[in-house]
Amino acid sequence: MTERPDSRARAGVGHDAAGPTEPVTGPSPAGSVTAPVTGPSPAPRHHRALYGEGAAIVCDNLVRIFKVADLEVVALQGLDLLVDPGELVAIVGASGSGKSTLLSILGGLDVPSAGRAIVANHDLGQLTGSERTRYRREVVGIVWQQTAQNLLPYLTAAENVELPMVLEGRSDRRARAVELLGLVGLGDRGDHRPERLSGGEQQRVAIAVALANRPAVVLADEPTGELDTATSAEIFALLRRVNIELGTTIVVVTHDAAISEQVGRTVRIRDGRTSTETVRRTELTDEGHHRAVSEEFAVLDRAGRLQLPKAHIEALELSRRVRLRLEEDHVGIWPDRERERTSGVPGAAAGGAGAGDGAPASRTPATEALADDPEPGGQA
């Protein structure tokens, strides 16, 4: 019987194509001793991780094109995005940037025109109609901005929470509904219909509904868009509590700067692509105090595309094409001065060009790390 290689073989540890790399002995003639046959070990095969391996959400070159009459509207233009299990991420962007389209695809309400979208190991582009329905019931929970989309007005809060479990045929739905209403702070409001609840309370119930079937991912579309500042802070604090206590992966689409600044990572979408990511962390100072640190990064997608901040483009008057140079620890970007000198294009005074090919002799502002800029304005 042939044994199936274990995971170590796939990782290149302890096996090669011919079998184990351990010393091999064989039968020897009587009275003789056979020494172990050894030789140079082959180079280990390192496991090459696939893009997004282990991530809760993977968007790989995601494209979505809508056809309106004779026009085609490209909502997503090769978007890449990774979200780790248990992460709380905010997605921001101007109207029309592609946020809502992305959320619809991740929620199983729409399908991509090209590329891959994988959520909790479910390839959304390959699901059948029945599989997509089950995906929406079991794998994701969605909280919409409009409370009318989240709750049925003729059901009580407890009955709204139970409804997803009724569709799944679960017998523990009453106990689960009581548990979730207690988690969101409405344990004593279970018999109230939505009309008797405030806007903030309705969103709390909506969060409980989204959690009913223990989804791997919760998607929240502007969950605080119709709430005042104080109530918005309470709702977001609840989402953070759910994320920490239950370990649920949560993606929040929002325009609220105060909300987006309270997560560990904020992803900005521009023109259908991820353009920047802001990463926040807490570090310890020399005096022993905790200090919040926020860093903004430009996003380099899998095709090598990079959106440059608008401020950088304007400062160096970058346009059409630019020069690149690979340095030891960075890539230099500067204007094409040669083209400007020969064509009369203005802007030759906007940076330190060197002799010959227009390359800078030393590091220029364009070669430094990208500075914070809320709206990147170009691509390289």
**pLDDT on residue 252:** 95
**pLDDT on residue 38:** 52
- CA dihedral (254, 260, 263, 265) in degrees, to 10, reads 90
Answer whether 183's CB lies under 8 Å from 242's CB: yes
**pLDDT on residue 15:** 40
Amino acid in position 29? P
How many other β-carbons are positioned within 10 Å of the β-carbon of residue 141? Answer: 26
**pLDDT on residue 284:** 83
d(CA 145, CA 195): 17
Exposed/middle/buried for residue 127 (C-beta within 10 Å: 0-12, 13-18, 19+): middle
Encoded tokens for 51: 């893009």
Encoded tokens for 103: 């959320």
d(CA 214, CA 138): 7
**pLDDT on residue 94:** 86
pTM exceeding 0.95: no
d(CA 273, CA 61): 9
Residues 6+ apart with CB under 8 A from 297: 276, 277, 278, 279, 370
**pLDDT on residue 308:** 82
Q: Closest by alpha carbon to 52, among 102, 115, 112, 114?
A: 115
Q: Cα dist. 95→33, 101, 146, 197 in Å?
A: 80, 11, 17, 30
**pLDDT on residue 320:** 81
Q: Closest by alpha carbon to 223, among 198, 246, 241, 206?
A: 206
Encoded tokens for 295: 């860093």
Residues 6+ apart with CB under 8 A from 240: 88, 262
**pLDDT on residue 132:** 94
Q: What is the pLDDT along the chain (380 residues), one digit of tens a residue?
A: 444 444 333 333 334 434 444 444 444 444 444 444 455 555 556 556 688 889 999 999 999 999 888 888 999 999 999 999 999 999 998 888 899 999 999 999 999 999 999 999 999 999 999 999 999 999 999 999 887 889 999 999 999 999 999 988 888 999 999 999 999 999 999 999 999 999 999 999 999 999 999 999 999 999 988 888 899 889 999 999 999 999 999 999 988 777 778 888 999 998 899 989 999 888 888 888 888 888 888 888 888 888 887 788 888 888 888 888 888 888 888 888 766 566 655 544 444 333 344 444 444 444 343 334 444 455 55
Answer whether 98's CB lies under 8 Å from 127's CB: no
CA 86 to chain centre: 12
Helices 157-168 and 199-210: angle between axes, nearest 10 degrees: 20
Answer whether 376's CB lies under 8 Å from 310's CB: yes
**pLDDT on residue 354:** 39
Encoded tokens for 47: 């496991």
**pLDDT on residue 42:** 58
Domains within the chain, CATH numbers bracketed = 1-48 (no CATH), 57-257 (3.40.50.300), 307-380 (no CATH)
**pLDDT on residue 370:** 39
**pLDDT on residue 145:** 87
d(CA 173, CA 169): 9
Q: Is 78 left (phi over 0), alpha (psi -120 to 50) or beta?
A: left
